[in-house]
Amino acid sequence: MHINWYPGHMKKTKELIQENLKLVDVVIELLDARIPMSSRNPQIDELVERKPRVVALNKSDLADPQITRKWVNYFAAQGINAVPVNSMTGEGLDKMIALVEEAAKEKMDALINKGMRKRAVRSMIVGIPNVGKSSIINRLTGKKSAKTGDKPGVTKGKQWVRLRGNIELLDTPGILWPKFENQQVGLKLAFTGAIKDEILDIETIALHLVAYLVREYTNQIKERYKLSEIFLDNLENLERIAKNRGCIFSGGRIDYSRAANLILDEFRSGKIGKITLEKPEDYISTIKA
């Protein structure tokens, strides 16, 4: 299946980032810890150019912790500091702030050496829709400075907010990209909710997710859905899940839509287990654990 989604406001966001980058000392790139590579907008490297950058791996509580550690090492090998964070509990955010201050130190010292007054570190947070930017801002400010929602596209415009410490942050709406070169990227974004469910074939998306979970997290899916065995036909696996969870119409017909939404909801909420959909080894073979 082919997934493409590039609403007009995302084009405006790209322009917004380009226009305001000169005001920023450090860029915070917010990624989904379950899909760190697929949730990276390939345009961001071009947009932020040589600005110092900190990667925050959000929703780390939902991701496989062993694989998250590998991703931290992956980014470190590229000279980028990465930190797992949880926007719901605030875990990891103090370290993220410390890394932002560290990344800006050279710039701040240079300003002081020129005789200028010390000012707040200016940062910009960028990321795809529904990755948790607004939740992190609210956690850092201790108040609802940014709108939040469980669907992509809630943040609409530009706003500066003061974070704890001496940091100001420019929030930007989520930005996807015009075309997914690899449709597997589109599927992973659909699995995690970065693309609106309303424009997707949910039943097909759920079937692809079941196929991945059966292959990579067999024990977790068997335990969650009380599967005594795994079938080679993933449609049969999905139907067995539907029957075990009561997703049945009168007369015994499978309610595929209800089963699909159940599986996606339980994956996204972590009820199936701590699951990561891609590994650094998929992109580089010599990464150290």
**What tens digit of pLDDT does each residue of 160-215 get?**
788 877 898 887 666 666 566 678 888 999 999 988 888 789 999 999 999 999 99
Higher pLDDT, 213 or 150: 213
Q: Where does the pLDDT of residue 246 fall: very low under 50, low under 70, confident under 90, or very high at 90 and above? A: very high
pLDDT score of 150 = 46
Binding residue positions for GTP? 58-61, 86-87, 130-135, 174
pLDDT score of 15 = 78
Q: Is the pLDDT of residue 276 over 80?
A: yes
- Calculate the alpha carbon distances from 15 to 43, 54, 278 in Å: 12, 21, 30
Task: Indicate the class that CATH gives domain 201-268.
Answer: mainly alpha
Closest CA to 52 of 71, 31, 29, 32: 29
Q: Where does the pLDDT of residue 6 fall: very low under 50, low under 70, confident under 90, or very high at 90 and above? A: low
Using a pLDDT cut of 70, give the percent of the chain over it. Answer: 84
Domain residue ranges of the chain, discontinuous segments joined by +: 8-179, 201-268
Closest CA to 183 of 160, 163, 201, 165: 201
pLDDT score of 7 = 57
pTM of the shown model: 0.86
The arithmetic mean of pLDDT across residues 74-79, rounded, is 92
The arithmetic mean of pLDDT across residues 80-97, rounded, is 95
pLDDT score of 153 = 40
Task: Dump pLDDT digits (tens) for 32-62.
Answer: 999 999 998 877 878 887 889 999 999 999 9
Q: Is the pLDDT of residue 10 over 80?
A: no
Q: Is the pLDDT of residue 99 over 90?
A: yes
Q: What is the CATH number of domain 8-179?
A: 3.40.50.300
Helices 183-192 & 256-268, crossing angle to 10 degrees?
A: 80
pLDDT score of 3 = 61
Tell me the two tokens of residue 42. Answer: 């390939």
Binding residue positions? 58-61, 86-87, 130-135, 174
Calpha distance 172→13 (Å, rounded):
7
Q: Where does the pLDDT of residue 286 fall: very low under 50, low under 70, confident under 90, or very high at 90 and above? A: very low
Higher pLDDT, 159 or 130: 130
